[in-house]
Amino acid sequence: MRIRRIAIAGLSVLPLVIAASPANAYETSHAEVEEYHRLSPRVETRHTKWARPYAGGTTRVLYFVASNNEGMETHARHAIELMQRFDVEVTPAYWYKFYTHHWLGGMAGNRRIHALMAGKPFDVYVFQGVSPTNLPTWPMGDSGEVLTRAVAAGAGIVLIGAADGGLMTNRQDISELPAFLAGSGASRAFTAGNGRGVVLPGLPSIPYQPGWETAYDYWQEGLGRAVLWAAGRAPDMGIELTAPAAVQRADLPADAVAVAWKNAPKGDVRWEAVLRRDDGAQSPLGEGRAGKPVRLRLPVLCAGNYRVDVIARGERGVEAWATAPFEVTASTRVQAIALRTAWAEVGDALAGAVSVTNLGHGQTVRIRLKDRRAGPRPGAK
């Protein structure tokens, strides 16, 4: 508006100028909204590439992330962690609380979501902590209706700690989880027209202790299974990995783990097996060419919880993977460690007591000081 026109109109124009300014001040630009939603894999955390690269190709994911606080905190990091482990192309949208819940970017954020929903359909839509009923209905149309049509036409939907709010109008729950989702943590699976959906509990609550990254890695493995199954991208090849629920330490070593293959593709597909303890320690169990069934030999192990991971890779990438948990039990157990204080200054002595049951003849108790990231400290025992 030119100054000359204000002078002619006098004070009658001034209230209009003042009233219009705040609306423009809070309007976020499209470039800003896109920058806020940019996901960067630059900072890598410890992870397993379960299916990256993946023989089944790249899966396009529209990932809706909720935060009940001002700002996203680390909630959006789960999408990046998924990208590290699986061959997915993730586009995020953020639902967060600033006085009230809304999509990041305000009206510009709403327009962005509508444009994404109205464009080329995604392979799967993920809702983490936010119901699809919160999708914007204005100013450019009802995105929830677009989602209903997309899933009915064959797209997938994954709900993490959220409900569909009745948007899946033709939903049919599957009475028994598909085999590919076994161990994924999924509570339900369903179909909706030509599409498929998976319901997962909320985000995991993992205590901050040695090995927490391992527990999170397996939670992400389950999430990746849910995403691929919902998108119709589950691997054609299958791995039948059988491990006993519990093994007595006195019975080790033993050929206790069986591996068999289903629908192995032609070509050079090779497998690799890894043994992982719940504190993150790992060691190789074997490798070879997929085809004939094999048995894996477990070495003598400390009592505790373990997993066996098998990943089969070919020229196209990961063809299939499997993981199986088991426990090593022993009559001798460390029951408790009680320190006099939970902290110490450099140079202080640590004092406390260790409770051990059934300590046998010739057995000793070894105490080591471990750094939370670097493992055992040299010379500390």
Q: What is the pLDDT of residues 141-163, one digit of tens each?
A: 899 999 999 999 999 999 999 99
C-alpha dist (Å) from residue 149 to 140, 153, 159, 171, 188 = 17, 6, 17, 12, 21
Q: What is the pLDDT of residues 315-358, one digit of tens each?
A: 999 999 999 999 999 998 888 999 999 888 988 888 899 999 98
For the chain, what is the mean pLDDT?
Answer: 89
Q: Is the pTM of this model over 0.85?
A: yes
For 245-268, what is the mean pLDDT? Answer: 95
Distance CA 239, CA 244 (A): 16
Task: Delineate the domains of the chain, giving CATH numbers in brackets.
Answer: 19-230 (3.40.50), 238-329 (2.60.40.2550), 333-376 (no CATH)
Q: Quick one: pLDDT at residue 21?
A: 35
Q: Quick one: pLDDT at residue 179?
A: 95
The band of 27, judged by pLDDT with boundaries at 50, 70 and 90, is: low
Q: 1 versus 331: which is more confidently predicted? A: 331
Q: What is the pLDDT of residues 72-124, one digit of tens each?
A: 889 999 999 999 999 999 999 999 988 889 999 999 999 999 999 999 999 99
Q: 24 versus 261: which is more confidently predicted? A: 261
Q: What percent of the chain has pLDDT over 70?
A: 90
Distance CA 358, CA 361 (A): 9
User: Are residues 252 and 299 in contact, defined by beta-carbon separation less than 8 angstroms?
Assistant: yes
